[in-house]
Amino acid sequence: MANILKKDAFILPEGVIYLDGNSLGPMPKAVSARVQTMLTDEWGEMLIRGWNGAGWMDQPSRVGDSVGRIIGAPAGSVVMGDTLSLKVFQALAAAIKMVPDRRVILSDTGNFPSDLYMAEGLVGLLEQGYELRTVAPEEVMDAIDDTIAVVMLTQVDYRTGRLHDMNTVTSVAHANGAVMLWDLAHTAGAIEVDLTGSNCEFAIGCTYKYLNGGPGAPAFIYVRPDLAETIQPALSGWLGHRKPFDFDLNYKAGAGIERMRVGTPPVIQLTALEVAMELWADVDMTELRAASIALQEQFITEIERDVPQLTLASPRDSAQRGSQVSWRFHEGYAAMQAVIDRGVIGDFRAPDIMRFGFTPMYLDGGDVSAAVKIIADVMNNDLWDVDKYKVRSKVT
Ligand SMILES: *Cc1c(COP(=O)(O)O)cnc(C)c1O
């Protein structure tokens, strides 16, 4: 596991045990100096010459390749840009066009609401009789039949961490003639995936969670290489055009995955992400997954031993779980605020879920035990039962 634990590479505030890297990863130490250099030497000195001279224009593909490496996607099949919600729209719009005689988009009730909202928006915009159908996560496989155009799922449930089997679901979708779209928001940097091996058509995900790209870091989109030259982008922005600087009046889709670019890339944010991705260059995802499971198993064992008030909301079988462990507690919001106040940062998801993420790049077994001690103190002594912990903030 020599290349997994890299605590020294991150800024982790004194007195904080950070169990929320599944929501916003911490800042790699190298980011601030490199972003500063980008600001002063590139934006400051080069001005507009930075687009060519500092490689800004190629950054979305360059960083896309570094993300591709950890999700089993070949070079040239992933590009960065926009936010994940927009990538849902973009991928789904391309996917439904591939199955023109079908009208059902299948998803599940464990999906992140924004993915469902974006699908609803697309359905409403098209006015062609499309339907977004959501079933319980356990019922997805049975709900795939030859009326389904696209199966759109998030692999890891943001609340419980429940994991879909990517290869199995994809092959069932394909056997029924449906296109497969995976959201890897809680997968990329958390568990090993082999997009090529899964044969799915589309995958998308964000980079501010396990990849530590910083708040607002751009999302990624993968299109299976054999399709990249044929899909027609619905978000047909100028930087996805074959020749943006010809300033043609008509859109011609760019080469391969480049067509999934839309507009001007967020260079400052991409620079932070590019630096963060350097930490992944030597990471073996199989080893990282093993380390993540070891931390989660330790956490479950110790919480169940010391804090019987909490009920496991995540699958008990580690093979069925992503890289987080969630617990149900009727006053989960207040309990989480009390825990955070004592330096253990997790988060709360309505209605009653206390969620803790496990990130072996900057957490070890000692952190897990120290966190459990604090959680046990809060729970066993009702330290959460204080008015100030019950006032809901905008972000939970
Ligand atoms: C985190 C997350 C999002 C957030 O989308 P943004 O556009 O980046 O705000 C969307 N979908 C899923 C599945 C997520 O986990």
Write out pLDDT tens, residues 278-309.
Answer: 999 999 999 999 999 999 999 999 999 999 99
Q: Three-class SS of residue 154?
A: strand
Looking at the whole model, is its pTM more than 0.95?
Answer: yes
**Beta-bridge partner residues of 326:** 355
Dihedral of CA atoms 341, 345, 350, 352 in degrees, nearest 10, equals -70
- The ligand 1 atom nearest the CA atom of 219: 8
Between the CA of residue 127 and those of 26, 86, 103, 124, 132, what are the distances in Å? 42, 19, 11, 6, 12
Residue 117: φ, ψ to 5°: -60, -45
Instruction: Show me where the domains of the chain are located.
Output: 7-28+284-390, 57-280
pLDDT in tens, 71-105: 999 999 999 999 999 999 999 999 999 999 999 99
| 208 is an active site residue | yes
Mutational pocket test of ligand 1: of 20, 114, 153, the residue with most ligand atoms within 8 Å of the beta carbon: 114
- What are the pLDDT digits (tens) for 96-142? 999 999 999 999 999 999 999 999 999 999 999 999 999 999 999 99
Straight-line distance from the first to the last Cα atom of the chain, in angstroms, rounded to the nearest whole number: 33
Q: Is the pLDDT of residue 1 over 60?
A: no
Superfamily of domain 7-28+284-390: Aspartate Aminotransferase, domain 1 (3.90.1150.10)
* pLDDT, average across residues 262-284: 98
Cα 149 to the center of its chain, rounded Å: 24
% of the chain at pLDDT higher than 70? 99
Query: Which atom of ligand 1 sits closest to the CA of residue 87?
Result: 7
CATH number, domain 57-280 = 3.40.640.10
Mean pLDDT, rounded, for 35-55 = 98
Q: Is the pLDDT of residue 251 over 60?
A: yes
Pocket test for ligand 1, best of 120, 186, 206 (most atoms within 8 A of CB): 206
Determine the pLDDT at residue 5.
96
d(CA 309, CA 297): 18
Q: Does the structure show a pLDDT above 60 at 330?
A: yes
